[in-house]
Amino acid sequence: MSDPNLGRLLNDRYQLAELIGKGAMGRVYRAQDVLLGDVPVAVKFLARTLLNQKMRDRFKSEARTCALLGQKTMHIVRVMDYGVDDDEVPFYVMEYLQGESLSDVIRTRSLVLPRFLSISRQICLGLQCAHHDGVIHRDIKPGNILVSHDTSIGELVKILDFGIARLLQADNGQTNSFMGTLAYSSPEQMEGKELDNRSDIYSLGIMMYEMLTGRLPLQAETHTFGSWYKAHHFQLPRSFDAITPSLKLPKALENLVMSCLAKSPSDRPQSAAEVLKALEPLEERFGPGRQMGHRIEAVLSKFQGVTDSKRQDSVSPDEFCKLTSWPKSKPLAEIVFAQPLKTSDEVLATLWMMMPKQEIQRRLLATRYNQFLFMLAPHPMLLWLTALHNREHGPRWLPCYLDLKTPQGQQMTRLLAENGLYRLLFFALEEPQRCVTVMSSKIADLQRDRLREWADISRTFVSTAQPNNTKTLLKQELEKVKPKILMKLEER
Lowest mean pLDDT among 193-202, 299-308, 386-395: 299-308
- Predicted confidence band at 51 (pLDDT cuts at 50, 70, 90)? low
Contact criterion met (CB below 8 Å) for 408 and 422 = no
Rounded-to-5 percentages of helix, strand, coil across the chain: 45, 25, 35
Are residue 49 and residue 150 in the same domain, yes or no? no
Q: What is the 3-state secondary structure (H, E, C) of 286-348?
A: CCCHHHHHHHHHHHHHHCCCCCCHHHHCCCCHHHHHHCCCCCCCCCCCCCEEEEEEECCCCEE
- Containing H/E element for 230? helix 225-234
**Is residue 368 one of the residues assigned to a domain?**
yes
Last residue of a domain, one of 66, 96, 126: 96
**351 pLDDT above the threshold of 80:** yes
Nearest 5°: CA angle at 146, between 90 and 274? 110
Both 215 and 73 in one domain: the answer is no
Q: Is residue 308 part of a domain?
A: no
Report pLDDT for 151: 53
Over residues 257-272, the pLDDT tens digits come to: 999 999 999 999 999 9
Binding residues for ATP: 44
Residue 358, number of CB atoms within 10 A of its CB: 10
**Spatial contact of 227 and 233, defined as CB atoms under 8 Å apart:** no
What is the value of pTM for the model shown?
Answer: 0.62
Q: Is 184 domain-assigned?
A: yes
Residue 311 lies in a domain: no
> CA-to-CA distance for 355 and 429, rounded, in angstroms?
6
Beta strand residue intervals within 391-482, DSSP E: 394-403, 421-428, 435-442
- pLDDT tens string 166-198: 544 444 443 344 567 899 999 999 988 888 899
> How many Å apart are CA 220 and CA 229, to the nearest integer?
9
- Are 357 and 429 in contact by the 8 Å Cβ rule? The answer is yes
In the β-sheet with 367-375, what is the strand arrangement from edge to edge?
A: 367-375, 381-390, 394-403
Mean pLDDT of the chain: 84
Q: What is the spatial distance between Cα 53 and Cα 424, in angstroms, rounded to a whole number?
A: 33
Instruction: For residues 133 and 74, state if they share a domain.
Output: no
Report which secondary-structure segment, H or E, holds 271: none
What's the average model confidence in pLDDT over 235-247?
A: 89
Determine contact, residues 10/91, Cβ cutoff 8 Å. yes
Same-domain status, 290 and 436: no
Whether residues 92 and 119 fall in one domain = no
**For residues 220 and 88, what is the distance between their CA atoms, to the nearest angstrom?**
39
State the pLDDT at residue 298: 52
- Domain for residue 292, yes or no? yes
How many structural domains does the chain have?
A: 3
Residues 345 and 293 in one domain: no
Q: Which one from 139, 161, 200, 403 is the annotated catalytic residue?
A: 139
Is the pLDDT at 289 greater than 50, yes or no?
A: no
Domain endpoint, select from 96, 125, 155: 96
Confidence class of residue 393 from pLDDT cuts 50, 70 and 90?
confident
On whether both 272 and 345 belong to a single domain, the answer is no
Radius of gyration of the chain (CA): 26
Residue-level pLDDT at 345: 80
What percentage of the chain exceeds 70 in pLDDT?
86
Q: What is the mean pLDDT of residues 354-358?
A: 92
CA 275/CA 273 separation, integer angstroms: 5
Share of the chain above pLDDT 90, in %: 45
Q: Do 76 and 108 belong together in one domain?
A: no
Q: Are residues 142 and 280 in the same domain?
A: yes
21: CATH:
3.30.200.20
- For residues 406 and 5, the model is more confident at 406
Residue 307 lies in a domain: no
Tell me: do 67 and 159 sit in the same domain: no
Whether 270 and 390 map to the same domain: the answer is no
**Residue 231 CB partners (closer than 8 Å, separation 6+):** 218, 219, 220
- Domain termination residue (choose one: 250, 273, 302): 302
- Does any domain span residue 5? yes
309 occurs within a structural domain: no
Are residue 82 and residue 166 in the same domain, yes or no? Answer: no
Predicted local distance difference test score (pLDDT) of residue 153:
58
User: In the annotation, is 171 catalytic?
Assistant: no
pLDDT reported for residue 205: 96
Range of the domain at 351: 316-491
Interval 476-486 mean pLDDT? 90
